[in-house]
Structure 1
Amino acid sequence: MANFDVAAVRRADGTPFGRVLTKALRDNGFGYDKRVVSYEGTGRPQLPFAYLGADDRAGPNYTGQPAVHSYYEPL
């Protein structure tokens, strides 16, 4: 289990993935509810996204803490 803000995960053009990401998480064995992501299972889960990089100038997240936006593209 981990705290996970879906709004911090962006497409290459900077728009958030939103429901596309939460659906992909659930389709691949993850649980996601109220900014908590979990995974129960064996092995290493795979998601259909490629990491592009990150932006540490994202500003504060929902808690007010400094945040990073991570950029991905669908595979």
Structure 2
Amino acid sequence: MRASKLFTVEEDFTEPNRTLHCQGLLEIIVHKEDIRRLLDNLDVRKAMVPDGVSGWVLKECENQLLDPIWEMIVS
């Protein structure tokens, strides 16, 4: 079946206003305990991510990684 038989041509189409009127996100607040909770809840049985770091390594090195991860997020 030809596409021209499936679709109709609409002559009265008007482009919607795509201008967004919002302030946007001004600040993201992340606490170290939020990061700790995420690291604690990692499933170490899942496959490694593309960078080659396993969940097991992240979980085992939680105390050493907490501050550097937090610094990257808040900077």
What's the TM-score bracket when you normalise by the shorter of the two chains?
under 0.3
Larger radius of gyration: 2
TM-score by length of structure 2 reads: 0.23
